């Protein structure tokens, strides 16, 4: 089953239960970390596991995420700094990259919504407390009637190719040194295509053509939606800007280099190009 078919089996929902449900599954967070049972790789908890580890006594906030195959999925946010036995706390990025497509989507959605809820407790216009809507995913100000929807920042990520060669770069803020695709945020008033041309020229000084949309991925750092493209090299010499990009080079499709980790859209774009030239010398 493809990850797109799985996505169709998830139905978002906003109605929050009055208590922890007797059935369903839970995603558990403590701050920006995902909480897992020790020795496991799945982030989904059952009600009996929640009770066995006494997590219900540590819950500060609950949120209804939706239904997957008819099963309710809820998000629990625990009090930070609590010492809990038998559990492990994983940084969100590590939990995401270690999950399959379904769990990755659920984790990304849950993390973004938790951050949005924590950052939108009061109205930015008048300062009044915000209230959750009972019918849709928004927080509203009853004093000045301003609505706050979850924030989503569109980003472009592009694999530039030149025959069997692909343009890979090392970003200044990468958590560790590796090569990946060029990426950047779409600015106000800018189309996705304009953002691609601008970002590539700003970061490495070249021009591209023949943009082709490939894939997308929600990326909760903190509220991004990554739009994945391929683009064909047109002209110009590589000149990393030295601020966002510290290294950029043309890499053959079959070259062995340290690239973006599995689970990321950058990895999928790179592997797609490698498969295209699997038998090219």
Residue 281 lies in a domain: no
| Domain match, 210 and 173 both | yes
Q: Give the C-alpha separation, 223 to 108, whole Å.
A: 9
* pLDDT band at residue 1 using 50, 70 and 90 as cut-offs: very low
Tens digit of each residue's pLDDT (9 = 90 or more) over 214-272: 999 999 988 999 999 999 999 999 999 989 899 999 999 999 999 988 889 999 999 99
Same domain (yes/no): 98, 210:
no
Among residues 119, 138, 166, the one where a domain terminates is: 119
Using one digit for the tens of pLDDT, what is the confidence trace for 213-224?
999 999 998 899
Residues 110 and 93 in one domain: yes
Mean pLDDT of 114-120: 93
What b/e string do you get for 15-48 counting C-beta neighbours within 10 Å, with b at 16 or more? eeeeebeeebbbbbbbebbbbbbeeeeebbbebe
Shared domain for 220 and 271, answered yes or no, is: yes
Do residues 102 and 194 both lie within one domain? no
Q: Is residue 237 part of a domain?
A: yes
Host domain of residue 168: 153-276
Give the total number of structural domains in the chain. 3
The full 3-state SS of 252-275, as one line of letters, equals ECCCCCCECCCCCHHHHHHHHHHH
Q: Which residues contact 185 (CB under 8 A, 6 or more apart)?
A: 153, 154, 155, 195, 224
């Amino acid at each position: 089953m493809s990850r797109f078919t799985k996505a169709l089996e998830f139905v978002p929902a906003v109605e929050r239960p009055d208590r922890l449900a007797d059935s369903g599954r839970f995603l558990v967070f403590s701050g920006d970390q995902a909480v897992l049972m020790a020795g496991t790789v799945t982030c989904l908890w059952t009600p009996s596991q929640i009770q066995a580890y006494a997590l219900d006594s540590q819950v500060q906030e609950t949120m209804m995420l939706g239904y997957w195959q008819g099963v309710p999925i809820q998000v629990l946010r625990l009090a930070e700094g609590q010492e809990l036995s038998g559990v492990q706390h994983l940084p969100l990025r590590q939990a995401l990259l270690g999950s399959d497509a379904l769990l990755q989507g659920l984790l990304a959605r849950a993390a973004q919504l938790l951050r949005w809820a924590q950052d939108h407790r009061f109205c930015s216009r008048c300062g009044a407390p915000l209230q959750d809507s009972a019918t849709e995913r928004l927080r509203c100000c009853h004093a000045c009637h301003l609505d706050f929807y979850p924030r989503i920042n569109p980003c472009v990520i592009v694999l530039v190719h030149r025959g069997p060669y692909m343009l890979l770069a090392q970003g200044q803020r990468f958590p560790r040194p590796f090569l990946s695709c060029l990426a950047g945020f779409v600015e106000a008033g800018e189309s996705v295509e304009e953002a691609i041309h601008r970002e590539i020229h700003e970061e490495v000084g070249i021009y591209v053509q023949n943009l082709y949309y490939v894939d997308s991925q929600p990326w909760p750092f903190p509220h991004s939606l990554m739009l994945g493209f391929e683009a064909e090299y047109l002209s110009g010499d590589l000149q990393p800007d030295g601020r966002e990009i510290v290294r950029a080079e043309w890499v053959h499709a079959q070259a062995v280099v340290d690239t973006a980790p599995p689970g990321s859209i950058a990895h999928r774009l790179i592997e797609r190009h490698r498969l295209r030239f699997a038998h090219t010398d």
